[in-house]
Structure 1
Amino acid sequence: MVIDTEYFTLHSLCEGVYAAIAKPGQGAWSNAGIVDLGDELLVFDALGTPSAGKELRCQAENITGKKVKYLINSHYHGDHVFGNQVFMDTTIIATSLTHKWCEEKNKIDDVEKEERGMEHYLLKLNNQIDVTDDAILKKSLINQFNEMSKVLRDLHNMNILLPSVLFEEKLIIKGASQSVELYCLGGGHSPSDTFMYLPTEKIAFMGDLITEDLHVPVYDSTEFLSILQVVKQMDIEMMVPGHGGIGRMAMCDTILDYLSLLFQRATEAHHSKITREDFIADFELPIQYQQWQGVNGIKANLSKVYTDLQPTR
């Protein structure tokens, strides 16, 4: 079963488990999941705008005839939590660190000031789109422009709703006919990254720990690697990434290889006493990553890994 909406396509992964795969530039901005627990529903991530979040909840309740009881926030980034307000009558679950960062980073004190800031950012993006000759970068910038435009459209009606139930490393949610396991093994892409595992179905909703053909921003490169090394040992047959299409464990291998390459090259640069600036400037992007998108390309991640591996004095 596939349901096509303005914001995403909804895929049935197995009985009672669905993946909402975002359409680029339409306001969903990230993927989400729906699990029928038996008597009620669980939703994993709320998408990037209230409008997209509303459509997600409507689809979930329409196809199952049940109400959403739980919403999981994988991490604090707006493209995963700006739809939270649509779930204000549910139990919103996240780690305490995600709650903290969501409260601090997503708070809107002055809507008009926020609007002006976003308009300025969109103007800057538009100028970048006009001057770049790099086709991959241009595509990334256009998608960023379109998604941020949808956020700006919803900004006046946006209410940043925070998680109400907090956990740290593991939480099991048991329903009448289905259980899910939430894990937070640290922070790789953000300070705290939660993923959801369905052990019977061997399905994992990974948030932005796994993405497809994307230079996903790295928050802590060492923890990112260690998290994925644990995930690699789990019995997972199907993965839903935070961005991109549904895949299998090979998606984890791809990100592990990517991070390992950055580690190897940054370590070599430190041993050779190469500066960060020269390391980034001289880095030759391997062919398997040349079509990957991201408004900062690989440069931001090269800088982050280089800094993370900086020898302490």
Structure 2
Amino acid sequence: MNLTENKHFELHKVKEGIYTAIAKDGGGAVGNAGFIDLGDKTIVFDTFNTQQAALELKKCAEEVTNRPVSWVVNSHYHGDHIRGNQVFDSSILISSEVTYKKTRDIQPQRINVQKQDIAGLENYIQTLQSEYNETKARKTLTQIHFLQEILVSLPTLTLTLPSCTFLEAFTIHGTERTAQLFTRGAGHSPCDTFLYLPEDEVIFMGDLLFVQTNPSFFDESDLDNWMHTLQELSTWNIQTAVPGHGPLGSKSDYYQIIQYIKDVKRLAESEEDVDDIKIPSPYKDWALKELFVTNLKQLKQLVKNKMETTLHD
């Protein structure tokens, strides 16, 4: 079996027993994932956006480690990190308590809405296909492939919740290495978990880290605590940082995300119109360019809301 040959992700060996699955554009993964051989047990970190991508990850993990997956970690509740959970039904699924509650309270409705509009998704894909036939735009083709993977997943998609939760930290001991789970609370999401391998100086960051990729901001994001968490982790012994999106990184990428957040906040507080603001040069070649404008608009709205609240106080 060639472990690298699938349409969802590229498998990379970070160190002996530590593998990352970097999402391919247009596949069913969307976010990155990975797995770790602890010597006597195997951990999977995040489960992608679709069960078909998660199944490929499971096959890789079992083939490489020669054992079933013991533990599965959900870094946060967003769909591209949890919707493959169902293929690990014989493993222990673990997340922070907050992530468990968010997954339980929010994801069922999101999934149900999509399941009820499969015909609408099919029509939209056909519209994009007609557009692609005329323009031959690579971006449109990638979007078509991405949506087709969702279309494949929806009929059999079942939300599978974590069965084990923790508040701030959780340690899994193996015969070869130890995996430490931590959360510092809200950042990208209401609660983000990262997995640290102290003996190997490798960390799986989830969406606390985007490498050469515009991060995504949401109403629920806590940008100040996000920066604070990255600042703290910059003092840890880390050689390799596995991001939620983008290629493998290092601690230097922490500083880039911290600066990115600062720059977008500064631009959001300026009087300049969003349409007149150009992407700052350090980020002009980053992936997901459209997120820069989305992030900027969102922060500008937050600034406006704060000003209105102040005026009415």
TM-score range, shorter chain: 0.7 to 0.9
Residue of structure 1 in register with 2:234 after alignment: 232
Residue of structure 1 in register with 2:253 after alignment: 251
Shift of 1:20: 1.2
The answer to whether the 8 A contact 1:57-1:68 is kept is yes
Structure 1 pair 130–166 and aligned structure 2 pair: CA distance change class (3 A):
farther
The 5-angstrom pairing of residues 158-169 of structure 1 reads: 158-169=157-168
The 5-angstrom pairing of residues 4-83 of structure 1 reads: 4-6=4-6, 7-83=8-84
Structure 1 pair 283–181 and aligned structure 2 pair: CA distance change class (3 A):
same
Alignment of 1:214 with 2:217, yes or no, is no
Deviation digits for residues 191-223 of structure 1 (CA, Å, limit 9, x no counterpart): 211111111111011111111232221132222
| Alignment: residue pair count | 300
The answer to whether the 8 A contact 2:75-2:193 is kept is yes
CA distance in 2: counterparts of 1:280 and 1:130, whole angstroms: 32
Corresponding residue to 2:274 among 263, 280, 292 = 280
Residue of structure 2 in register with 1:194 after alignment: 193
Alignment of 1:291 with 2:279, yes or no, is no
Structure 1 pair 177–154 and aligned structure 2 pair: CA distance change class (3 A):
same
Structure 1 pair 98–117 and aligned structure 2 pair: CA distance change class (3 A):
farther
CA distance in 2: counterparts of 1:266 and 1:30, whole angstroms: 27
In terms of mean alpha carbon deviation, does 219-228 or 66-75 score higher?
219-228
Give 3-state SS (helix, strand or coil) of 1:210's partner. Answer: strand
| Root mean square deviation, CA, Å | 2.6
CA distance in 1: counterparts of 2:212 and 2:127, whole angstroms: 25
- In the alignment, structure 2 segments of 5+ residues that lack a partner are none
The answer to whether the 8 A contact 1:3-1:11 is kept is no
Deviation digits for residues 84-138 of structure 1 (CA, Å, limit 9, x no counterpart): 00111111111122122222332134775141353465467668879999x8xx7
Structure 1 pair 123–15 and aligned structure 2 pair: CA distance change class (3 A):
same
Structure 1 pair 236–130 and aligned structure 2 pair: CA distance change class (3 A):
farther
The 5-angstrom pairing of residues 106-185 of structure 1 reads: 106-107=107-108, 108-109=111-112, 112-119=115-122, 122=125, 139=139, 142-185=141-184
Identity %: 34
The 5-angstrom pairing of residues 296-311 of structure 1 reads: 296-309=290-303, 310-311=306-307
Deviation digits for residues 31-66 of structure 1 (CA, Å, limit 9, x no counterpart): 111111121100000112111111111111111112
Residue of structure 2 in register with 1:87 after alignment: 88
TM-score by length of 1: 0.86
Deviation digits for residues 266-303 of structure 1 (CA, Å, limit 9, x no counterpart): 34x2xxxx3xxx54223221122222232733122112
CA distance in 1: counterparts of 2:22 and 2:115, whole angstroms: 32
Residue of structure 1 in register with 2:106 after alignment: 105
Structure 1 pair 306–130 and aligned structure 2 pair: CA distance change class (3 A):
farther
TM-score by length of 2: 0.86
Structure 1 pair 232–105 and aligned structure 2 pair: CA distance change class (3 A):
same
CA distance in 1: counterparts of 2:102 and 2:289, whole angstroms: 23
The answer to whether the 8 A contact 2:188-2:216 is kept is yes
Shift of 1:306: 3.0
- In the alignment, structure 1 segments of 5+ residues that lack a partner are none
The answer to whether the 8 A contact 2:9-2:23 is kept is yes
CA distance in 2: counterparts of 1:123 and 1:209, whole angstroms: 35
Q: Which runs of 4+ in 1 moved over 4 A?
A: 120-133
CA distance in 2: counterparts of 1:36 and 1:18, whole angstroms: 9
